[in-house]
Amino acid sequence: MTRESSEGPTTRDLLCNAGAGAAAGAIAATFVCPLDVIKTRLQVHGLPNLPHSGSRGSLIITSLQNIIKNEGMKGMYRGLSPTILALLPNWAVYFTVYEKLKGLLHSHVDRDNQLTVGANMVAATGAGAATAIATNPLWVVKTRLQTQGVRSGVVPYKSILSALRRISHEEGIRGLYSGLLPALAGVSHVAIQFPVYEKMKAYLARRENTTVDNLSPGHVAIASSVSKILASTMTYPHEVVRSRLQEQGQARNPEVHYAGVTDCIKKVFHKDGLPGFYRGCATNLLRTTPAAIITFTSFEMIQRFLHRVLPPEQQHSQAHPKSDHVKHQPETGGTGEQRDNEILQPSQTQLNKMSSSIPLGGKEQLTARH
């Protein structure tokens, strides 16, 4: 993600970033959707009453078995359509805004000609905020589709469009943007993840004596996994608060109604203590770490492919000076009278040589040769 020149990304670079980001997000979402369903339900409903839920592995396996038993394979991929629909613009917007801001902040570089940590955090934060605002309604729909299977007494949403229509009609714009505040607080996640990711890539590139644009997929996977684990662990509590606020509009249960972010934090802490803010964290790491590896590695490889396929814009700008040079060539010949004088010059030189055949001395001969 450092191909752009010091003048900032070109239109071609922005298109490559948007296309690569959208494709990478869709690939990752499809791969980890079953774990995402479990993670969301743990965030919203807490630990289920399972006889063998002592370990994280058995909890995940038992949860998957229950989903398949009660809802079939379709239940494993609940919310996949809105997830992909949200991730397509999510990563497209994010990577595009991120690279644009990096171009604007290119003057803030360190001795290795890499953006400073502060500049990276500003770019990541700005891109995260723009993405959260643009895609929040789709994340609300995704959360409710994934949790409605375990809710009793609610009218389920039939599709993404019906969910959007019902939420806007029943709850208004506030319902579509429920959970936006913790989502914006979650910008701290990318503010940690992307600077760590960039620094990890720069470190691996120096160690391998190459550039960040030529790192192998394995090194990209290492950088993405380390940065994701660190960022997810530090910022996970906001995801619990966001999921509960997004889900409560469909539940209509006064016992779990949250008046806002502060009220939600108080009630979760009062009921479950600090562990309540980390419900589903292990499942989340099992989901987000491979998702980050797939997303970032796919993004880097697809971006490189698109840069090879799409013609660079510089070719068009280089063609104009050549044509201008050709156009000016006839003008150097001057008028027709000047061209006639140029034609006559050789004959005049020959006459001078003929006249210089009479010995007049070395000086005249040198003058005639000039």
**pLDDT tens column, 164-184:** 999 999 999 999 998 898 888
Task: State the angle between helix axes of 117-147 and 217-251 in degrees (0 to 180), rounded to the nearest 10.
Answer: 50
Does the residue 327 lie in any domain? no
Domain check: are 342 and 291 in the same one? no
Q: Give the lowest-confidence range in 22-31, 35-44, 260-269.
A: 35-44
Residue 89 has a pLDDT of 80
Domain check: are 345 and 214 in the same one? no
Does the residue 322 lie in any domain? no
Residue 166 has a pLDDT of 92
* 293 in Cβ contact with 248 (< 8 Å): no
Domain check: are 251 and 307 in the same one? yes
Residue 191 has a pLDDT of 92
Does the residue 2 lie in any domain? no
Task: For residues 113 and 128, give the distance between their C-alpha atoms in angstroms, rounded to a whole number.
Answer: 24
Task: For residues 240 and 245, give the distance between their C-alpha atoms in angstroms, rounded to a whole number.
Answer: 9
Q: SS3 for 115?
A: strand
Q: Give the lowest-confidence range in 34-38, 281-285, 336-340.
A: 336-340
Residue 93 has a pLDDT of 86
Domain check: are 266 and 188 in the same one? yes
Does the residue 324 lie in any domain? no
The count of structural domains within the chain is: 2
Question: Which residues are within 8 A (CB) of 93 and not within 5 positions of it... i.e. 6 or more apart?
Answer: 18, 127, 130, 131, 134, 135
Does the residue 201 lie in any domain? yes
Residue 323 banded pLDDT, cuts 50, 70, 90:
very low
Full residue range of the structural domain in which residue 171 is found: 11-317
CATH number, position 219: 1.50.40.10
Residue 317 banded pLDDT, cuts 50, 70, 90:
very low
Q: 41 or 241: which carries more pLDDT confidence? A: 241
Percent share of the chain, pLDDT over 70: 75
pLDDT tens-digit readout, 70-106: 888 888 888 788 778 777 788 888 988 998 898 888 8
Residue with tokens 């499942």, as numbered in its chain: 283
Handedness of CA 179, 185, 191, 197 (dihedral sign): negative
Domain check: are 276 and 346 in the same one? no
pLDDT at 333 over 80: no
Does the residue 147 lie in any domain? yes
Q: SS3 for 2?
A: coil
Mean pLDDT throughout 105-111? 79
pLDDT at 152 over 70: no
Q: Of all helices (H) and strands (E), which one includes residue 349? A: helix 336-355
Residues counted in the chain: 370
User: Mean pLDDT in the chain?
Assistant: 78
Q: 343: number of CA atoms within 13 Å, CB side?
A: 7
* 300 in Cβ contact with 220 (< 8 Å): yes
258's torsion region: left (phi>0), alpha (psi -120 to 50) or beta? beta
pLDDT at 304 over 80: yes
Domain check: are 259 and 153 in the same one? yes
Domain check: are 344 and 271 in the same one? no
Domain check: are 256 and 357 in the same one? no
Does the residue 185 lie in any domain? yes
> 185: which DSSP letter?
H
Does the residue 204 lie in any domain? yes
Cross-strand partners of 115: 109
Select from 125, 344, 333 the least CA-distant residue to 235.
125
Task: For residues 193 and 188, give the distance between their C-alpha atoms in angstroms, rounded to a whole number.
Answer: 9
Domain check: are 248 and 206 in the same one? yes
Domain check: are 272 and 348 in the same one? no
Mean pLDDT throughout 16-36? 86
Residue 221 banded pLDDT, cuts 50, 70, 90:
very high
* 47 in Cβ contact with 117 (< 8 Å): no
Return the structure tokens found at 288: 């987000």
Domain check: are 300 and 338 in the same one? no
Domain check: are 303 and 348 in the same one? no
Q: Burial-class residue 191 by CB neighbours within 10 Å (0-12, 13-18, 19+).
A: buried
